[in-house]
């Protein structure tokens, strides 16, 4: 009898531990990056549930709340979910979820696979890790591997690379959608704030979109005005961008520049940014 019970117990352990939904602390990788979260994913009804922030930030979906209703949008896809409801609406068509979104410890949990695949990502599970590969980001038919960001200070500069298709696409679109009118190149512009005279422009950031071999496909430079006390500088545009690929200057807004900075900071917090070089002393 003891041998029989031991055998049954062993079989049960093997079944449970081999199940892809067993681990409550499943690791999630998006585009090869292990996602950092203050709340672990968990399993419910044989589905991996993740905090909503994992979806909204790292898959590039925008989130709106209205009472207990969650609306996720990205490009031409719109998904509406409700807390504690199996119904979901995708672009106007109602479907059924296997597990309801729910609130726990002030976090909203949603089904990882359903959301990821809805927004065009491939999902796989192996050895306790959920791997999500988002839709490749493409510029003029060329797949983008990373975006390289560079800025200079008084003594030295920093070069960083950001992976994550959704982040790179969002930053690229911010540049494209917020280009203002064409302008002439300013009479004075340099890399460093410390060497720029009032009324001149310093390059506050260089954003280079790289292909799989590390070659530049598109580059944008953001230039900020150094203000003086004279009337001329107070009437100048505060932000300009230089499209280095076509060698053209454009007006740009402070709001768009700030949005790019926020996206980069968010990607950095989630582990998508790597420092390539830092010569600041």
For the chain, the three-class secondary structure string (H helix, E strand, C coil) is CHHHHHHHHHHHHHHHHHCCCCCCCCEEEECCEECCCCCCCEEECCEEEEEHHHHHHHCCCEEEEECCEEEEEECCEEEEEECCCCEEEECCEEEECCCCCEEECCEEEEEHHHHHHHCCCEEEEECCEEEEECCCCEECCEECCEEEEEEECCCCEEEEEECCHHHHHHHHHHHHHCCCCEECCCCCEECCHHHCCCCCEEEEEEEEEECCCCCEEEEEEEEEECCCCCHHHHCCCCEEEEECCCCEEEEECHHHHHHHHHHHHHHHHCCCEEEEEECCC
pLDDT digits (tens, 9 = 90+) for 181-194: 999 999 999 887 76
Helices 254-269, 165-177: crossing angle, 10 deg rounding: 180
pLDDT in tens, 201-230: 999 999 999 999 999 999 999 999 988 666
Strands 182-183 and 248-252: antiparallel
Please name every residue paired with 234 in a beta bridge, in sequence order, or none if there are none: none
**The CATH fold of domain 142-278:** Immunoglobulin-like (2.60.40)
> Mean pLDDT across the stretch 159-166?
95
- pLDDT at residue 36 in the model: 79
For the chain, give the mean pLDDT: 87
How would residue 11 be classed by pLDDT, with cut points 50, 70 and 90?
very low
Report yes or no on whether pTM surpasses 0.85: no
- Domain boundaries, given as residue ranges, for the chain: 23-133, 142-278
Q: What is the mean pLDDT of residues 24-39?
A: 82
Given a cut of 60, whether residue 7 has pLDDT beyond it is no
232 compared with 267, residue with greater pLDDT = 267
- Cα dist from 202 to 19, 71, 193, 198, 223, whole Å: 56, 40, 5, 10, 5
In angstroms, the CA 64 to CA 187 distance is: 44
pLDDT of residue 8 exceeding 80, the answer is no
Asked if the 23-133 domain carries CATH number 3.40.605.10, the reply is no
Task: Find the mean pLDDT for residues 129-151.
Answer: 95
**119: Cβ–Cβ under 8 A, 6 or more apart, which residues?**
59, 60, 61, 72, 74, 77, 134, 135
Q: Taking the CB of residue 3, how many other CB atoms lie within 10 A of it?
A: 7
> Which of the four pLDDT bands, split at 50, 70 and 90, describes residue 231?
low
Range in 15-24, 68-77, 84-93, 256-265 with the lowest mean pLDDT: 15-24
Contact predicate 244/253, CB 8 Å: no
pLDDT cut 90: percent of the chain above it: 65
């Amino acid at each position: 009898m003891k041998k029989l019970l031991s055998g049954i117990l062993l079989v049960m352990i093997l079944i449970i531990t081999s199940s892809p939904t067993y681990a409550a602390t499943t690791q999630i990788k998006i585009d090869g990056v292990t996602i950092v979260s203050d709340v672990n994913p968990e399993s419910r009804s044989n589905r991996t549930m993740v905090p909503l922030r994992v979806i909204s930030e790292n898959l590039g979906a925008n989130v709106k709340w209205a009472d207990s209703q969650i609306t996720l949008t990205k490009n031409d896809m719109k998904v509406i979910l409700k807390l504690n409801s199996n119904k979901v609406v995708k672009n106007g068509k109602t479907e059924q979820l296997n597990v309801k979104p729910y609130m726990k410890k002030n976090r909203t949990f949603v089904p990882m696979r359903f959301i990821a695949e809805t927004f065009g990502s491939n999902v796989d599970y192996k050895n306790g890790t959920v791997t999500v590969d988002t839709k490749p980001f493409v510029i003029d038919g060329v797949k983008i591997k990373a975006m390289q960001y560079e800025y200079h200070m008084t003594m030295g500069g920093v070069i960083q690379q950001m992976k994550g298709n959704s982040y790179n696409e969002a930053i690229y679109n911010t540049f494209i959608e917020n280009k203002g009118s064409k302008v002439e190149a300013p009479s004075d512009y340099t890399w460093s704030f410390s060497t720029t005279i009032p009324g001149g422009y310093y390059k506050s950031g260089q954003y280079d979109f790289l292909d799989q071999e590390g070659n530049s496909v598109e580059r944008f430079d953001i230039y900020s005005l150094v203000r003086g006390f004279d009337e001329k500088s107070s009437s100048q545009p505060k932000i300009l961008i230089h499209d280095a690929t076509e060698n053209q200057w454009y007006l740009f807004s402070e709001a768009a520049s700030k949005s790019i900075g926020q996206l980069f900071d968010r990607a950095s917090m989630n582990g998508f940014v790597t420092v390539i070089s830092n010569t600041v002393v």
